[in-house]
Structure 1
Amino acid sequence: MSKVMKKNLLLLFNCVNYIELKHTIRIMKITTVLTLIAIFQLSATSLHSQNAKVSISRNNLPLKEFINEIERQTDYLFMYSEKEIDLQEQIQVNAKNKPVSQVLEEAFDNSPIKYNFNEGYISLRKAEKGSINQDKRKISGTVKDATGTPVIGANIVVKGTTIGNVTDIDGRFSLEIPQNATLTISYIGYLTQEIAVGNRSDLSIQLKEDSETLDEVVVIGYGTTSAKKMVSAVTAVKGEKLQDLPFPNVASTLQGRASGVIVQNQGGEPGSEPKISIRGGGDPLYVIDGIITTDWEFKTLNSEDIESISILKDAASLAVYGSRAADGIVLVKTKEGRKGKRSIVYSFNAQYSQPTVLPKKLDSYTYADVQNQAAISDGYGEYHQFSKEEMDAIRNQSDPYLYPNTDWYSLGLNNFAPEYRHSLSMTGNQKDINYYLSLGLFDQGSLYTSDALNYSRYNLRSNVNTTFDEIGLKVSLNINAAMEKKKYPSFAANSIWDHLNAKSPLDLAYNEDGTLSTVSDNPLMEMDERSGYDKNDGMYLNTQFVADWALPWVKGLSLGTMLYYRVNSSHLKKLSARAPQYGKDGTLLDVTKPSLKEEAYFGESYQFELSAAFLRTFADVHSIDAKFVFTAAENTGHNFWASRRDYLSTTVDQLFAGSSTTMQNAGNSEEGGRMGLVGRLKYDYANRYYIEGSFRYDGSDNFAPGHRWGFFPSVALGWDITEEPFFKSWNRGKIDLLKLRGSYGQMGTESGVNKFGYLSTYNMVENSICIGGNLLSGFNEGELTSPELLSWYTRNSLNYGIDVAFFNYRLKGSADYFYYVTKGGLVSPADRYTTPLGTKLPQIKSKNEHRREGFELSMRWNDNIGSDFHYEVGTNMTYYNNLYVVKQEEALSTLMNPYKRSTHQTDYYDVILIDNGLYQSPEQVLGVPRRLSSSETKLGDIVYQDLNGDGKIDAEDQIRYGMPTAPHFTYGVDFAFSYKGFSLSGLFYGTGKRNMEFGYNTKKDESIHVKNEYQLDYWREDNRDAIFPRKSLSSSVNGGNNQEKSSFWVKNASFLRLKNLSLAYDFKYKLLKNANWLSMCKVNVTGANLFTISGVSDYFDPETTSTNGGYPVQRVYSVGVTVGF
């Protein structure tokens, strides 16, 4: 290649890199500038003073508008009771640049309304007749909620007077009161209390929840609802429950906390992400603040930013998301700014993790003795593998470089892997602007002694909103960004761990001169930073604008719009190399030269929504809630990669440094679009009878024109029996809630549908055609699909549920039964003829029918003992199973075998042989059926059952066995206690029967694979009750008899685990209670995966993804501090 061409190619690729880097830097600059502007603008504070000036001039001004105007022009917040103050009362105001105190005095002159200043608050009360002219004295006190948390902004008023105050950020208050005074304490969502002060000077007051006003608000698709009125299957998890947990991502924190949610860990490797399913379905849809997004964005959320997570499970809650909602939805609401004093919270956690299970390895002498014992079992002499002299040398370590005793764990692993988490947030309001700003940092190291494996994540969020009360308009601008940086070895982390487990103690790690030895699959070489790296950096930036306008001339009617823009990019760079390895004579091991590959991706997404909503109650009993939404979205993406090989050195890890004769590159672009119309109508009569209908008319570009639109409807009914007059007359407070509900609907799924799969495609094949002795490039035809057949799977959903509450809502619970039927999809025809171009025949529409049913239950008890001790205990459980009614692609031979077929069968682990223990006597060896290839059966081999009775063991004796590894029955028990600043909380999580299989390192016959102490329990004459079969020098004992897939190697991996336990103390409670500049100073000690009860814990962790030794699940210890200002 000419120098000019080289230069042009280099310039082209550098330009691509420069453009991507420039674009990323521009995005980061814009994000930083916007955040700094918001912080500096909103951080500006003004002194609260009664001389703050306002300008208001209007006759017949409603009191509500008067209050809003003062709040808008000053930093004051008003506190009042709507039951006492008539907000529609009209007043006369004529003030131009007058102090607030003067304006209030003039406005309320000759009015029963009295006001009182307290720092940044103005409290309003209506004075009663008469006055108290008695000697006064000063009292103080603290107001807490049912959990013992200080209540900010509670109203404290001396009954019958205008004397009052508002609690501060610590829940404290002080008043000058007359003798024999009675205090009235009120706060939204709690029962108003009256307390006679008597001779007390310091009071401790605990508010009691008002079950009627404190109805939990649950976020659902395209809106919210109250828990009392909800007739669909939705589980809500409060964000505060997920904070301070020592897990690397939000998904892990959900495990065991919500019924219907099944979270499976994917190992403990830094940056690994768990798998989530809802009621046993596939990957759910993720929605964050109303935006449909990816699982990656959900799993990179900062848990401190989460207000709540709602799990949508049935058709009534899912239909509004149409074609992508069949497997459930994880819906996240992030925190937003609210009126109130500015609050700054900083938290830091230092975490240290280690494997939950780390098998004890054999020393070299024991390992060598196993080889000699195996030789004896095979009929050889006592010292067949290692002579007596060699055994003595191994025992005495007289020549550690010829007969080493290598502890691979100590060489390759640290005692702990470090993790650090920082979070800083600020929330409050400035004038009419409410804001929530946050920054987050998470850094996760690995157990490896090198720095080749690391994961870092950075989060930024700015949620700002303001309300124009005069016209009923609320506007929000939300900006959030995240960046994650993954640094892996060029060798897979799981492979490195596998090799650490598989290495023999007699394998030499380092030569005498300290260089790496030439042992194959040397994990120390693989984790060495000279062996290259695999870096994966990704980022996204989201901007969302939302406006909701309550039309002032039509009561209950509002219009809304949402605009959303997302940009994301990723950069992958992998340098494949090997650290130098030397023989004992100093000879350098000859290896393949290094190679480098880089890949860049840039994507953009847009979403637009228009909505209309109507919410109104007629005649106090007929409530109507309707909403209609038009939504459209599109996305684009561009990908480019290039690579070179044969690098002379890894010092210059850039593409130009590789051989130009090996360079490769490729690129592609993609685009997509969607459109939908959403509708929902809810009606309830007297909070007693509920009916709800919803639909989505969905269009997707994944399908051919004429087949792109689908209609997905649902209906739900509910009956709150406790609101019935006949029940109230009988109940008399025994039962607080008894609600029956049911839903039915149809959803769609595009699972398994390729984008533009309805189009004929051709693939370029380079140098595959030989014409005239020359290799030429050509095309082959892609797999064909008929456009008329390519469409959504349809899934019908049925759900029955009941909600209950007893003992003044201290005990609450829900139970649900669910049933799903999925029909359709595409399968390949049974006759595999080919087209002239060598392509298989088009797929055909199947008659497949798959059913899934189950139940879930949740209960929670929440109570207090005295005024200082609060406790709550909750439990939830989920069970499901699957059944194929029709599985068209199943082979006829399998279908005819009732022991093997999937059709009309529930889930199972696998189709395998059933064992009957180990051969224990010669008579047994001769008397039971064997595999035809097992002609050398000996004592200690595995016995198999001849289930079909034909006198031999073969594939016809295999049957369905066990339960899948993915748990079908899960449960969780969480608890929390608090007492005088101390708090203790935890979670137990467990599963029902699930099966896992020993990995190949344990199953192999050859004695050289006995590396762990638990493997010493193999069959010998002196160990007939062994766990494992006999060992041999052969790699395939008795025709591979003992390595057959059978029930012998499949174990019940159900478990009960203490998932997390946390102890915290808030020094603000007593030691720092007088530090008014502090709102909290909490220190916590937390552990995760602290202990496990399981039948497999001696061998591997029941939540591991690989029983062959993949990167292990971690036990975590965490120390943290949270400080609020």
Structure 2
Amino acid sequence: MDFQQQQVTGRITNAAGEPLPGASVKIKGASGGTSADADGKFAITVPENATLVISSIGYEDQEVSVAGKTILSVVLKESTKVQDEVVVIGYGVAAKRDLTGTITKIAGKEISDKPNSNPVASLQGKVAGLSIVNSGTPGAEPDIRIRGTVSIGAVKPLYVVDGIFNDNIDYLNPNDIESIEILKDPSSLAIFGIRGASGVIAVTTKKAKAGQVLINFNSSFGTKKLVDKIDMVDAAGFKMLFDEEQANLGITGSDLFNYAPWTGNTDWVDIMTRTATFNNNNLSITGSTDKNRFYMGLGYIVDEGVVKHEKLEKILLNISDEYKVNKNIKLGFTFNGIRQKLPFSQANGLLFDARRVLPITDPFDEASGYYSQLAIQSAQISNPLMNLESKWNKENRIEYRSVGSVYFDLNFLKNFNWRTTLYADISHQDGRTYNPILSIFNPTLPAGEQVFVDPNNRITSVSQNTQSWKKFQQDHILTFKKTFGDHGLTAIGGFTTYFNTYNGLFASARQKDPGNAIPDDKRFWYIDNGFVDQTTRRSSSGQWEKATASMLFRALYNFQGKYMLNASFRRDGSSQISPDNRWKNFYSVGAAWEMTKENFMMNQNIFDFLKLKASWGLLGVQNTYGYDYPFYPGLQTGNTAVFGSNIIPAYSQAYVPNRNLTWEVVDAMDFGFEFYAFKNKLRVEAAYYSKKTRDVMTLIKVGAGAGDRLDNVGKVRNSGIELAAGWNQKIARDLNISINGNFTTYSNKVLFLGNDRIPPSEERPNVTEAGFPIGYFYGYVVEGLYQSYADKLASPAVQGYEYGPGDFKYKDLNGDGIINTEDRQKIGNPTPDFSYGATVSLNYKGFDFGVDINGVYGNEIYRYWGSSELPFTKFNYPAFKLNRWHGEGTSNWDPILGDSHTINRLPSTYGIEDGSYIRIRNVQIGYNFNSDLIRKAYLKNLRIYANVQNLKTFKNNSGYTPEFGGSATSFGIDNGNGPLPMVITGGINLTF
């Protein structure tokens, strides 16, 4: 039966009345369709009894019966389904259900009320494949790796904040963040070119929402406390062990150390630390009309460290405005500004010294009023409390940073959009330091001579530096979006440039003479003042500039909304690389199948959404091996040239670059599935990833006298499985529970490294070579201790070291009857077998309660302290040294005491500890007041909450923490520093 055709027009908006340009309009059961223009309007010819299916990214589909009507007004509701959420994909957004890769979205509200001044720190344990090692230093950037370590010279992901490329997001206020997306798969990363392979963290800041005028204020305050303190011996324990060590070294009689003047029993870590505070205050104002959207946020953060006087102060400003000239043209800008006073730079190092200081020294002599010189250690370490209390206010480091953009947005010819954006990121840091003259007390000296000038602080000096970073970016992006019946296409093409420059100036000078000290006055903390000795002035500088220009393209195609195909391409040109290889192509392709839209799935009642997906691509790694211009080596000294009878100092290239030097490339693939089942109560997303990095840039040895060559000779493989799952359940009328978890496995292996390797240092055990994981631990295997000289004689001989009873007995791995460097092997791996995280949330009426945990399993830590610290320097003993060997049969693990026993300091399994842990990362309880109750106070929302971060870490190692970041090839080393405090906070959030 034929039905009469008629034309239907209409407008599609959201609940706030805003038009939804590009919204899809399809005829149910037929192949016809169209899309809305920039004003949300559409026109379509349909049968008079037709039903239209209206859909738009981030909104629930809606069916509308025409039923003879010719004008329709359609209002779409925002979708609450995870598969419909809008995610950032690089130079645009898309619905998660239309993608072929793996992207995880974290809402800003999940990090805004956590006690971290750096937003990324709050993501730990939240995302599969995202590894975060946090720091206890206020504001410090975490060590972040996405899906493992892809190169021997590149670790950090790329940050993209509202479109601008960046190396960090220290300047962002956590309360100004709308959402954070973690991009991990090749189909989402190829569009970022040479910076995509390490993963992308895309941040969207808050903007004003239509039809709202809101004022929001939130404030939190809390305390920090040192937990899991390293266990060291007290004064009695030190005396016992040191007496024994002296006996082992043959020290007797008058040469024995005299403890009489040293009566202290000091816990140096205790006196150097405190209960610190954390305070975060924020005020935001949003206003919106039909034409204009304005947002302003102002924040003030004070973040103290557990070391006394360590404090970060931040003032943050975020402003954005968008003006709609007409239905086709929009203009806007964004601005983030920060002024921060950075923490005392020596605090962490002084805490490191505090662990090593002998407890027999009293820190301060009350009678004389001076700090004490350290017993035994004065030549190696100064009194850390003296340095802390005397110097914390002699340093002034201030940073200013401004990050902003302006943009022009034009819709034309119904399906086209042109957007031009200009970005700038300018930061400037000034630092000035004054070193005073300090006097010190030594009780062993004769009366009248006990107070004297500390040899380590005998003259005044000043240092000064100024550093600036400037980054400029421009994007010109054309977008085409159209529905052709059953076919949907979104395509972008564009051109972008990025310019990055750095300039640093550094200088120092000392006082003129002993009687003419530089005054302790900030007015004179400059190099150019009348008190410095001009001959002592020293200066240096650093500078570079880098630029890239790129062309890019991406297409997102779907057929009937159930077959998806994504393709990306980017061509990058760089100023840092060989002119012959200046341009490099990166690309990807991905496909997905939404099975639940097939007819054979219509009658099942288990799956609400089921999608299979896969992607492959070539991604870029911007590893420069530590050189600003890897193809253009600098010059080095230490060479000579002969001209006749004259020997002239000469310069040579630091290395020889391969003429065809090029960027590293990662051959990556990702495939998996995601589904939502049992009426969307269960959500599961799983993926297998594999990344093979080729053309790894590294220095290789060419031969005697030939120098090193920088070449693309390495190959690295990373692979693993990611799993994220969640369950939402309504238990009773007002009680809901949500359980979410993630799990990631890691497999890392260097496949080739130019027949070379990155060797360990004498004390540091990290090695990178073919056939093994990046940065694996390399050393000797300890079989026990020599219990007697007979045991020594019956064992393989050790070359190069004096040894005897109580020393380590290393395993003869190759069976040649000799212990030497050939008997070292892999003794550990700092990369875990897997990591995991979980969240349990309960909601009852206005109350909410949540617990976050995270952990890793299967990695090792190398404990440098207590194992390989420098010989011939007396440090305090770890408590486990009480179990040392002091006679046959007393120990078969902790060796004899004695600095001269250098054989016991070699990297070995003695320093290896289990790095597995599980941490209760956050516990939070909150209450949202009933809207009817607070309306009388002219409030729209009122919430109070309390949070405990790092409540408890269940670990097996003896250090402050089981987590240790580092470089791509040297990480997992416990130096006996870097405690991660427990933080308790309470807060209030109210909206007018």
Instruction: State TM-score, norm by structure 2.
Output: 0.83
Give 1:370 deviation, angstroms: 2.9
Give 1:1006 deviation, angstroms: 8.8
- Distance (whole Å) between structure 1 residues aligned to residue 387 and residue 139 of structure 2: 19
Letter in 1 for 2:373: T
363 and 672 in structure 1: CA distance in 2 versus 1, 3 angstrom threshold: closer
Letter in 1 for 2:555: L
- Distance (whole Å) between structure 2 residues aligned to residue 516 and residue 634 of structure 1: 51
Task: State whether structure 2 residue 106 is matched by structure 1 residue 237.
Answer: yes
Residue aligning to 2:53: none
Determine which of 47, 61, 77 is the counterpart of 1:188: 77
Determine which of 748, 758, 763 is the counterpart of 1:882: 748
Q: Is the 8 A contact 2:701 2:709 kept in 1?
A: no
Counterparts of residues 268-417 of structure 1 (less than 5 Å): 268-281=136-149, 282-295=155-168, 298-374=169-245, 402-414=262-274, 416-417=275-276
Task: State whether structure 2 residue 583 is matched by structure 1 residue 709.
Answer: yes
Pair member with larger Rg: 1
Give 1:574 deviation, angstroms: 2.6
Determine which of 464, 467, 474 is the counterpart of 1:601: 467
Q: Is the 8 A contact 1:827 1:889 kept in 2?
A: no
Residue aligning to 2:311: 454
955 and 550 in structure 1: CA distance in 2 versus 1, 3 angstrom threshold: same
Letter in 1 for 2:654: E
Task: State whether structure 2 residue 327 is matched by structure 1 residue 464.
Answer: no
229 and 66 in structure 1: CA distance in 2 versus 1, 3 angstrom threshold: closer
- Distance (whole Å) between structure 2 residues aligned to residue 385 and residue 463 of structure 1: 71
Give 1:797 deviation, angstroms: 1.0
Q: Unpaired runs of 5+ in structure 1?
A: 1-60, 73-81, 89-185, 191-208, 394-400, 835-839
Letter in 1 for 2:907: K
Q: Is the 8 A contact 2:489 2:558 kept in 1?
A: yes
Which shows bigger deviation, 500-509 or 679-688? 500-509
- Distance (whole Å) between structure 2 residues aligned to residue 818 and residue 959 of structure 1: 29
Residue aligning to 2:339: 483
Give 1:255 deviation, angstroms: 0.9
Give 1:575 deviation, angstroms: 2.4
- Distance (whole Å) between structure 2 residues aligned to residue 386 and residue 465 of structure 1: 75
Which shows bigger deviation, 909-918 or 688-697? 909-918
Task: State whether structure 2 residue 363 is matched by structure 1 residue 509.
Answer: yes
Q: Is the 8 A contact 1:1055 1:1102 kept in 2?
A: yes
Q: What secondary structure does 1:1075 align onto?
A: helix
Letter in 2 for 1:654: Y
The Cα offsets for residues 788-824 of structure 1, whole Å up to 9 and x where unpaired, read as 3222112211111211111111111111111112222
Q: Is the 8 A contact 1:707 1:788 kept in 2?
A: no
Residue aligning to 1:817: 688
Give 1:245 deviation, angstroms: 0.9
Letter in 2 for 1:348: S
Determine which of 862, 879, 895 is the counterpart of 1:1029: 895
Give 1:623 deviation, angstroms: 0.7
Residue aligning to 1:789: 660
The Cα offsets for residues 157-200 of structure 1, whole Å up to 9 and x where unpaired, read as xxxxxxxxxxxxxxxxxxxxxxxxxxxxx98246xxxxxxxxxx
Q: Is the 8 A contact 1:759 1:787 kept in 2?
A: no
Residue aligning to 1:575: 434
Q: Is the 8 A contact 1:1103 1:1113 kept in 2?
A: no
456 and 545 in structure 1: CA distance in 2 versus 1, 3 angstrom threshold: same
- Distance (whole Å) between structure 1 residues aligned to residue 657 and residue 269 of structure 2: 56
Q: Which has the higher contact order (CA 8 A, sep 6+)?
A: 2
The Cα offsets for residues 103-144 of structure 1, whole Å up to 9 and x where unpaired, read as xxxxxxxxxxxxxxxxxxxxxxxxxxxxxxxxxxxxxxxxxx
The Cα offsets for residues 803-853 of structure 1, whole Å up to 9 and x where unpaired, read as 11111111111111111122224554543455xxxxx55726444222221
The Cα offsets for residues 195-232 of structure 1, whole Å up to 9 and x where unpaired, read as xxxxxxxxxxxxxx5x49x7111111111111111101
Which shows bigger deviation, 648-657 or 529-538? 529-538
Residue aligning to 1:19: none
Letter in 1 for 2:599: P
Residue aligning to 2:56: none
Q: What secondary structure does 1:319 align onto?
A: helix
Q: Is the 8 A contact 1:531 1:579 kept in 2?
A: no
Q: Is the 8 A contact 2:558 2:564 kept in 1?
A: yes
Give 1:1086 deviation, angstroms: 0.9
- Distance (whole Å) between structure 1 residues aligned to residue 855 and residue 15 of structure 2: 52
830 and 564 in structure 1: CA distance in 2 versus 1, 3 angstrom threshold: closer
Q: Is the 8 A contact 1:497 1:1109 kept in 2?
A: no
775 and 377 in structure 1: CA distance in 2 versus 1, 3 angstrom threshold: closer
Counterparts of residues 846-995 of structure 1 (less than 5 Å): 846-890=712-756, 902-907=769-774, 909-919=776-786, 924-932=791-799, 936-938=803-805, 940-964=806-830, 966-995=831-860
Residue aligning to 1:749: 621
Give 1:583 deviation, angstroms: 3.6
The Cα offsets for residues 548-596 of structure 1, whole Å up to 9 and x where unpaired, read as 2222xx3322222112233221212232345322344344225442222
Give 1:1002 deviation, angstroms: 5.2
Q: What secondary structure does 1:588 align onto?
A: strand
Give 1:471 deviation, angstroms: 3.0
Q: What secondary structure does 2:769 align onto?
A: coil
Determine which of 758, 769, 787 is the counterpart of 2:631: 758
- Distance (whole Å) between structure 1 residues aligned to residue 770 and residue 189 of structure 2: 28
- Distance (whole Å) between structure 2 residues aligned to residue 1112 and residue 422 of structure 1: 26
Q: Is the 8 A contact 2:461 2:518 kept in 1?
A: no
Number of residue equivalences: 892
Coordinate RMSD, CA, aligned: 3.8
Letter in 1 for 2:956: G
- Distance (whole Å) between structure 1 residues aligned to residue 414 and residue 935 of structure 2: 48
Determine which of 949, 960, 964 is the counterpart of 1:1100: 960
Determine which of 360, 383, 407 is the counterpart of 1:522: 383
Letter in 2 for 1:988: I
Letter in 2 for 1:276: I
Counterparts of residues 1013-1024 of structure 1 (less than 5 Å): 1013-1020=879-886, 1024=890
Residue aligning to 2:532: 658
Letter in 2 for 1:283: K
Q: Is the 8 A contact 2:307 2:351 kept in 1?
A: no
Q: Unpaired runs of 5+ in structure 2?
A: 1-7, 20-25, 28-34, 37-74, 150-154, 444-448, 761-765, 966-972
- Distance (whole Å) between structure 2 residues aligned to residue 461 and residue 1085 of structure 1: 26
- Distance (whole Å) between structure 1 residues aligned to residue 504 and residue 802 of structure 2: 57
Determine which of 406, 410, 419 is the counterpart of 2:278: 419
742 and 915 in structure 1: CA distance in 2 versus 1, 3 angstrom threshold: same
- Greater fraction of residues in helix: 1
465 and 448 in structure 1: CA distance in 2 versus 1, 3 angstrom threshold: same
The Cα offsets for residues 494-532 of structure 1, whole Å up to 9 and x where unpaired, read as 331122111112223223312112322211122123477
- Distance (whole Å) between structure 1 residues aligned to residue 248 and residue 734 of structure 2: 69
Q: What secondary structure does 2:566 align onto?
A: strand
Give 1:604 deviation, angstroms: 3.5
Give 1:239 deviation, angstroms: 1.2
- Distance (whole Å) between structure 2 residues aligned to residue 264 and residue 671 of structure 1: 30
Task: State whether structure 2 residue 904 is matched by structure 1 residue 1042.
Answer: yes
- Distance (whole Å) between structure 2 residues aligned to residue 313 and residue 332 of structure 1: 14
769 and 824 in structure 1: CA distance in 2 versus 1, 3 angstrom threshold: closer
Give 1:643 deviation, angstroms: 2.8
- Greater fraction of residues in strand: 2
1111 and 611 in structure 1: CA distance in 2 versus 1, 3 angstrom threshold: closer
Q: What secondary structure does 2:584 align onto?
A: strand
Give 1:971 deviation, angstroms: 0.8
Residue aligning to 1:26: none
Task: State whether structure 2 residue 571 is matched by structure 1 residue 682.
Answer: no
972 and 820 in structure 1: CA distance in 2 versus 1, 3 angstrom threshold: same
Letter in 2 for 1:246: P
Percent identity over the alignment is 24
